């Protein structure tokens, strides 16, 4: 069986052990004679799965008791609507503030403007989002119902190394491409949400972690299946949820625990990123596209000094099982997404290939 090193930004690679376990259980889950994708979301077996997922998330992420864990339809982009529908009414002024660090923050800001006033308080668009802009709490309107950030910017390869102090204004963080890749203080946030397809499981579902006091502010027009309070009260099972995605996430969480947890994974992720960045920085043939002090450890964006060689670089990389290295069209170049499931051996294979390609084309 062929398996490549998959550097795709998402849907991304999953741990091999998780895929093998899902494969082994697929036709006959716990000797039921039925697949996990066939059993009822009301069954005892699925109840055990979702409860175990809750337990692992609380343990791995350090989620306090005054936060609710929700499994919400539609992925991360659906939360661009769900967050303002649920929280923008927290303050009668119905204002939401945003720091623009890439396409996803821009889209979220525009969506919030459908339900209230959307204010962009800082932006790095002037340099094609290759850095995280300076933010000071004095920039934040105290009437804001929340401040929205994207903690890691998949397209541009940047991240917030330190999170902004927002005082009494809840901080909302889209952590789709880095949740559980580094330790967090959950108490810093009012809401965290993440699409599953990077570090947590298959596409099509979002994980939402929300402080309980923020469940009481939904706009009257909020649809039931976008209302976070409905999810909280019914354990995300007001209707048939994406049961297979929750099952797969529970397996990923078990794998992460077996690997030593988030703190150990963070050290591994930093080592993987440093391996690639150190090689790029030592070469005149390649250059990073994100400013060095704002670089992501999940998405390494880079280009070739001889831009006309990019096509050959990508083609030859794929021929040696280094898959999906093409950068996003708004940045160009190459991008290595090295989420939790990417082993350090994959990063070493990429660096070895980059070195050989440089030798062959210098």
The string of pLDDT tens digits covering residues 44-82 is 999 999 999 999 999 999 999 999 999 999 999 999 999
Burial category of 186 from C-beta neighbours within 10 Å (exposed 0-12, middle 13-18, buried 19 and up): middle
Pairing outcome for strands 152-153 and 158-159: antiparallel
Task: Judge whether residue 362 has pLDDT over 90.
Answer: no
Structure tokens, 30: 């716990």
At 1 the pLDDT is: 79
Write down the catalytic residue from 68, 198, 229, 326: 198
Is 104 assigned a catalytic role? yes
Beta-bridged to residue 158, according to DSSP, are 153, 295
Calculate mean pLDDT across residues 5-24.
Answer: 97
- The backbone region for 249, taken as left when phi is positive above 0, alpha when psi lies in -120 to 50, beta otherwise, is alpha
Percent pLDDT > 70 in the chain is 100
Q: Is 198 a catalytic residue?
A: yes
Instruction: Work out the number of other CB atoms within 10 angstroms of the CB of residue 332.
Output: 15
pLDDT at site 233: 98
Q: For 79-82, which contacts have Cβ atoms below 8 Å and span 24 or more sequence positions?
A: 79/174, 79/193, 79/206, 79/208, 80/104, 80/107, 80/108, 80/111, 80/112, 81/111, 81/114, 81/115, 81/226, 82/208, 82/226, 82/228
Mean pLDDT score across all residues of the chain: 97
Instruction: Return the DSSP state at 197.
Output: T
From 54, 68, 104, 326, the catalytic residue: 104
Question: What domains are defined for the chain?
Answer: 16-258 (3.40.640.10), 260-361 (3.90.1150.10)
Catalytic residue among 54, 95, 160, 174: 174
Residues in contact with 116: Cβ distance below 8 Å, sequence separation at least 6, in sequence order: 84, 88, 89, 93, 94, 95, 96, 145
């Amino acid at each position: 069986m062929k398996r490549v090193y998959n550097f795709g930004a998402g849907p991304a690679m999953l741990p091999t052990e998780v895929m093998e376990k899902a494969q082994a259980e697929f036709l006959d889950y716990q000797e039921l004679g039925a697949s996990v994708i066939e059993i009822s979301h009301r069954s005892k077996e699925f109840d055990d799965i979702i409860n175990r997922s809750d337990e692992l998330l609380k343990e791995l992420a350090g989620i306090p008791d005054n936060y609710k864990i929700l499994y919400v339809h539609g992925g991360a982009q659906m939360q661009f609507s769900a967050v303002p529908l649920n929280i923008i009414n927290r303050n009668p002024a119905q204002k939401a503030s945003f720091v623009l660090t890439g396409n996803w923050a821009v889209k979220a800001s525009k969506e919030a403007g459908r339900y209230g006033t959307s204010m962009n308080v800082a932006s790095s668009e002037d340099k094609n989002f290759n850095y995280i802009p300076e933010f000071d709490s004095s920039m934040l309107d105290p009437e804001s119902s929340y401040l929205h950030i994207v903690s890691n910017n998949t397209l541009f390869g940047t991240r917030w190394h330190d999170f902004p102090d927002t005082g009494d204004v809840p901080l909302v963080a889209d952590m789709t491409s880095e949740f559980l890749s580094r330790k967090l203080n959950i108490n810093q946030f009012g809401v965290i949400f993440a699409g599953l397809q990077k570090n947590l499981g298959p596409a099509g579902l979002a994980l939402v972690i929300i402080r309980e006091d923020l469940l009481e502010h939904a706009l009257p027009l909020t649809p039931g299946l976008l209302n976070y309070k409905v999810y909280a009260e019914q354990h995300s099972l007001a209707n048939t949820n994406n049961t297979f995605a929750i099952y797969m996430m529970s397996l990923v969480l078990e794998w992460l625990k077996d690997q030593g947890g988030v703190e150990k994974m963070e050290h591994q992720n930093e080592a993987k990123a440093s391996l690639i960045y150190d090689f790029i920085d030592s070469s005149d043939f390649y250059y990073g596209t994100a400013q060095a002090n704002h670089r992501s450890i999940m998405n390494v964006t880079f280009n070739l000094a001889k831009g006309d060689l990019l096509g050959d670089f990508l083609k030859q990389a794929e021929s040696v099982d280094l898959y999906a290295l093409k950068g996003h069209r708004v940045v160009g170049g190459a991008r290595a997404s090295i989420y939790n499931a990417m082993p350090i051996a994959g990063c070493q294979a990429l660096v070895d290939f980059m070195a050989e390609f440089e030798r062959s084309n210098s």
